[in-house]
Amino acid sequence: MTHFRFKLLCKNIFWLILFFSLPTCSSKNSDEQSSAFTTTVTGVTSSTTNGSYSTGQVISIEISFSEIIVLVGTPQLTLTTGCSDAIVNYSSGSGTKILTFLYTVRAGDGNFDLDYSSTSALSLNGGTIIDNEGNAASLTLPTIGAAGSLSGSKAIIISTPKTLASGTPAATGLQDRIWTFTPTLLTSGITFTAINKPSWATLNSSTGTLSGNPDAIDTLSNISICATKASTTETIGSFSVVITGDPIKSEAWHLKNTGQTSFAAAGGTSGEDLNLAGTISEGTTGLGIKIAVSDNGTQIAHEDLTDRIISGASKNYTLASPWIGDPTPSFTDPSNAHGTAVAGIIGATGWNGKGSRGVAPESSLAGFLFIGSDQSTDKFVDQANGDFDIFNYSYGYSQCQSKPINASLETQLRFGTTTLRGGKGALYVKAAGNDYLGSLSDCNGSGSSNYLGNSNMDGQNAIYQTVVVGALTATGNRTSYSSPGSNLWVSAPGGQFGTTSPAIISTDAIGCSEGLSRTTNTANTFESGTSSLNSNCNYTSTMNGTSSAAPNTSGAIALILQTQPLLTWRDVKYILAKTAKKVDANAGNTSHPGGGANSLTDHTYQQGWIQNTAGIFFHNWYGFGGVNVDAAVAMAKTYDLTLLGTLNETLNNDGTWKFSSGTIALAIPDNIATGVSSSINVTDNLKIEAVEIELSVTHNFITELGVELTSPSGTKSILLNINSYIKGANFTALHLNTNAFLDEMANGNWTLKVIDGYLADTGTLTHWKIKINGH
Amino acid sequence: MKPIFTKSKNNNQKLEGKNRLRAISNEKIFIFSGQTYQIRTDLIATESKGVVFKSSEIVRNLNPFVILNHNSKELLNRLQGLQLQPLKVAENFHTGRLGVVTGTIVITLVPSTNIENFVKDSKWEIGSLAPQIHTVFLKVITQEDPLLQVKEIKKDLRVKSAELEIIENLAKVQ
């Protein structure tokens, strides 16, 4: 409204300006005046009826201006009509607001939605187009495909008889998904070329196949595939492709790491990601795979999650049994957005023009509000049961002391891996823990010093039925917090904190007053909602932790299961292990972070990458390495379903462990690396999938103790590091798991070594036993 | 600078914890007749800055909850807006550590037992069922010693095991 009045005023003074020849008006405010006086194109359309037109037919195209214009000469309009543009002369309209151009369809022309060649397709051709004040009109046309353009307002198809090749390319495509078109050949000996070929596409000059993987949201116009044979060149028809996607996916380094900063100060390392581009581009998206997200609740109405939620399957364990209900927590506490972020990492909806994208963006999700309940056993059991393929557990206990697994939960996990998924077994994916350097003050006591967590201390992590996942940075290394342990299976992106180094992009509680991203969050502009990419604060760039690594793995498993639904839970674990990427490849032995008196002479505190005698690499920081989706999916496609056979555990008939030391009393030498050793001869010859031990030790300060296990073939796994500063006295049937012996043979002498790493207190190894899981 | 690792302090902490545990464990009476309270430590921090509980008031820290004994009741009553929840604590005989008594007895049935028949016959209040693992969750009887209830339940030959549920720690998001 303001602009309109200003324009009238300017028109009235226009002649005054000319009369008095006031130079200041034309020079000082030239930009403003130009804008105010310029007559512009308001739209392009056609009075010709929508439809398909062929050789010789005439199509009328009208260009509307904002003011009456006067035309001198023969301006021209260039239309995209295939391999050669059609240049159409002005026909009529001078003295009105509408100029008309008449286009007669030529032999060989083609366009699936007729439009001009560019926004500058209207040319004067030596003439003039001025308004009634003598000002040259702007000739800029509306953006191709947009409202007001020819294709935006009409649907006119140019289709002339083809003699070489034909076909109709898809007008839409998806970010990161292969778009392809192959014409039908009507004869042989054709050579194909392309005009306005998308940068992401390649053309096969023999078959005419135009194919590629669009990596961004985009609209690509006036593409033409031209077929030539001898002196004849035809088009299959000019076309446009609209690519839909997810606007902040480009910042999701865990999906595709290009070194982007993901709103942190510095970026990561290109290629250090889940390596899933090939899988996604093929259209594998987790469709049909059901995943339970047991966490501190999930905002199931979130715009990027709601389409993924299985109706009636979510649970709220603060309600009465059977706990079916909305799992959306109160978000007054920002940390309650955790489960919403976890769900988004797994399965945020893809290609909906919102947020980022989950690893398995077409998987089906249920949210469980479990953390926040009283975590009673009945709830623990229930949240591990049901019609789900994968259970994601981004929670755990403080690892400052051993926490045996809840016996009923262990029974449930055994049930789940033998019975769910039609007997193929559900996958239980668990965060390794964030206790690389835990604070004792946060762990059942006072004090200001730290402890070195071990993922095995959390009993749910120490059984073979769980897939334990460590966290990687955007540079492909261990995160500052990820708990180590011989029980780790794989690692996956977890990120740092999103300020100096990238964290994980995911869904967040809706709005700028709740959740992680909120007006008061100063971590970065994305988190505070000041970035246009997150003005609604529905997404976060600061999600991290092994809590993020676990759902990245759950999503990856969903892609594997969609590829081969007949895989058992053990098959999936094996595929993850065999295809894992050896991240931080040069990681060698490390010494105790506390140094000094915490170290022993001739003792390796933590091993770097080891290679077991079956040739498999393992590291207590990373398990078998980083999840490698494309490699895992490729292995799944050709996987021999009989490879692992039946799971065999070295158990007696009554379920007790077969191989035990019996009661022993071996003194543990104080503060010396030689420690005390005890061997058990395993007579079952299994190919190892995992090894579990239980040991009992009397010692006033278990913090001092290190535990190592050496296989019959000589591979050493460190199950517990010395001077961990974990709490308590004595180990009583402490359960530890190690995956370091995968694919080795089990029979022979297994040697357990217990080391006391600190001066003064001594202890005794009183009992230990070993169980092999294998086939 | 706060030391990352302090060996002597760490040892002292463990001794203190051990002694405290022993002291509390000796107070068998508090398990079911003493009133204790659960309070979220983050609420203490955000809503009652400056409030410091004495060691004599704290039964156990179950991050993010702290269990306070009856000595704290008067103090707690003076605090506005805090979410207090009376509950009981007991020793977990498997670990020797204290935990929260949830009021549930976990019963595992021998596999051949028909769980529906067991429920039908039961004189106990059923909380929920997990038939897939032959497990029944019973409610403890108010005003009665649940350990005696457990003892009574174990007399049933269909019962493989029965345990009073005690939660030592709450899992937390990672």
Rg (C-alpha) for chain A, rounded Å, is 34
> Would you say B67 and B31 are in contact if contact means Cβ atoms under 8 Å apart?
no
| pTM across the whole model | 0.87
> What is the number of other CB atoms lying within 10 angstroms of the CB of residue B1?
3
For chain B, list the domains and their CATH numbers. 7-92 (no CATH), 101-167 (3.30.70.80)
> Of A80, A170, A155, which Cα lies nearest the Cα of A113?
A155
B169 contact A CB<8A: yes
Decide if B3 and A545 are in contact by the 8 Å CB cutoff: no
Residue A183 burial (10 A CB sphere; 0-12, 13-18, 19+): buried
Cis peptide bond prior to B131, omega within 30° of 0:
no
- Per DSSP, B55 falls in state G
For chain A, list the domains and their CATH numbers. 1-37 (no CATH), 38-158 (2.60.40), 162-244 (2.60.40.10), 252-584+619-637 (3.40.50.200), 648-774 (2.60.120.260)
> Would you say A750 and A707 are in contact if contact means Cβ atoms under 8 Å apart?
no
Q: Which residue of A has its CA nearest to B5?
A: A449
Cβ-Cβ pairs closer than 8 A, A with B, add up to 140
Decide if B9 and A448 are in contact by the 8 Å CB cutoff: yes
Residue A443 has pLDDT above 80, yes or no: no
Residue A68 has pLDDT above 50, yes or no: yes
Decide if A396 and B174 are in contact by the 8 Å CB cutoff: yes
Q: Which residue of A has its CA nearest to B97?
A: A728
Q: Among the residues of A348-397, which ranges form H helices? A: 377-382
Q: Which strands, in side-by-side order, build the sheet including A51-53?
A: A51-53, A156-159, A110-111
CA A233 to chain centroid: 44
Record the tokens describing residue A519, joined without a space. Answer: 């007006």
Chain B environment of A449 (Cβ under 8 Å): 2-6, 9-10
Query: For the residues A417-439, what does the mean pLDDT come to?
Result: 96
Q: How far apart are CA A196 and CA A653, in angstroms?
A: 71
Residue A386 has pLDDT above 80, yes or no: yes
DSSP letters spanning B56-104: GGEEEEETTEEEE-GGGHHHHHHSSS---EEEEEEEETTTTEEEEEEEE
B35 contact A CB<8A: no
- What kind and span of H or E run contains A549? helix A546-563
Record the tokens describing residue B63, joined without a space. Answer: 């991050």
The band of A570, judged by pLDDT with boundaries at 50, 70 and 90, is very high
pLDDT digits (tens, 9 = 90+) for A283-303: 999 999 999 999 999 999 999
Record the tokens describing residue B146, joined without a space. Answer: 């649940």
DSSP letters spanning A416-460: HHHHTGGGT--EEEEE--S-TTEEGGGSSS--S-EE---GGGBGG
Q: Which residues of A are catalytic?
A: 295, 338, 547
What pLDDT score does A24 carry? 36
Q: How far apart are CA A549 and CA A557, in angstroms?
A: 12
Backbone angles phi, psi at A381, to 5 degrees: -70, -45
- Whether this model's ipTM surpasses 0.95 comes out as no
What pLDDT score does A20 carry? 37
pLDDT digits (tens, 9 = 90+) for A642-663: 999 999 999 999 999 999 999 9
Query: By 3-state DSSP, what share of chain B in percent is helix, strand and coil, each rounded to 5?
Result: 35, 30, 35
Backbone angles phi, psi at A587, to 5 degrees: -60, 115
* DSSP strand pairing (A364-369 vs A290-295): parallel
The band of A366, judged by pLDDT with boundaries at 50, 70 and 90, is very high
Q: How far apart are CA B31 and CA B35, in angstroms?
A: 8
Decide if A758 and B18 are in contact by the 8 Å CB cutoff: no
What pLDDT score does A88 carry? 98
B41 contact A CB<8A: no
Q: By three-state DSSP, how is residue A27 classified?
A: helix
Residue A635 has pLDDT above 90, yes or no: yes
A446 contact B CB<8A: yes
Decide if A727 and B14 are in contact by the 8 Å CB cutoff: yes
**Maximum Cα–Cα distance for chain A, whole Å?**
114
The band of B91, judged by pLDDT with boundaries at 50, 70 and 90, is low
Decide if A397 and B62 are in contact by the 8 Å CB cutoff: no
Beta bridge partners of A76: A89, A123
Query: For the residues A525-554, what does the mean pLDDT come to?
Result: 97
Cis peptide bond prior to A669, omega within 30° of 0:
no
Residues with Cβ within 8 Å of A397's Cβ and at least 6 positions away in sequence, in order, are A403, A433, A457, A458, B169, B171, B172
What pLDDT score does A447 carry? 55
